[in-house]
Structure 1
Amino acid sequence: MGGLIFWKLRGSDEKPVASVQPPPPATTPQVFEQPPPPPPPPPPPEEDAGKKPAGKVVGVGGGGCAGECKGTAGATLQSALAAKAGAARGCYERGLRQNATLQGKLVISVRVGPGGQVCSAGVASNALGDPGVASCVVGLFRSASFPAPEGGCVDTQVPMNFVPKGGGK
């Protein structure tokens, strides 16, 4: 009981504590991020595209890839084209993962220059019906280099018949 009296007597000597309010939040100016700078403009494709073939035609001599091709695909060139067609199976296998029933014939037309360089490659016919596989195969031929044809440049077609393994016709 003595503690209660002490506290009561002691409490009257204390001054009331004034309540302190926190200062109002300072308004900070909004910071806006600057947009990133625009990307640099791409190089003009017409100039680059025009220079490269012109350089190839001038450097090869003997007519290059321009005009009519009168050469013939000798045995070594035919063998190399067949090997590249075999490598195209990888493109088909990727397409087969997307469509398990994918099968059909794809014919690629290729123009090989007098030095063995590929002047052009494209789809002659696509009974396979998958543009992704066709594009992949054309890319393989365009990036290839072959043995020189006999007698100048040559236009040839490479037929490929794609069927799932174990289900050949």
Structure 2
Amino acid sequence: MKERKKELRKQIASEKTKYSASLLKALSDEILTRLEAQPAFKEAQTILLYHSMKDEVHTHSFIEKWSKRKTIILPVVVGDVLELRHYTGTEDLKPGAYGIAEPTGELFTDYETIDFAVIPGVAFDLSGHRLGHGKGYYDKLLPKLATAVKAGICFPFQVVEEVPTEPFDILMDIIITK
């Protein structure tokens, strides 16, 4: 299982190198337009997003746009877990683990009030399975988001026929791509 996951991560990383930064940005815009068209997203008041790394669906301006209308929560890496914090604006972001900008806002622990969770991943399949980077951060967080609609967002080349899964893996409710 570990070897299959490692191989799939390598395959996706290789595929990403075929895309320019500008093409990934354009794809991101299309994916996020599809995301905001989702009825569950439109109805949601509290949304978990993520501040993207350069090779993920670009969420920076999307976070800023929606923070004016909805409560935005972002993850912060603390040891081997993700803490959640309120996003209050770009001025409250600081470089965190893995070079990802992380919010310094108020700690958020009211998980059941999260209506919609946007989840990154290395790969997804159409059954809703997700492959992460292998650190287990989201594996620990997702069980706390039982009432949220969980949306995996990714570039088209990150959708594969089958993601190797384990019993603890939590399915995404929807996969959004171009």
Give the TM-score taking structure 2 as reference length: 0.28
Give the TM-score taking structure 1 as reference length: 0.29
Structure number having the greater strand percentage: 2
Q: Which entry has the higher C-alpha Rg, 1 or 2?
A: 1
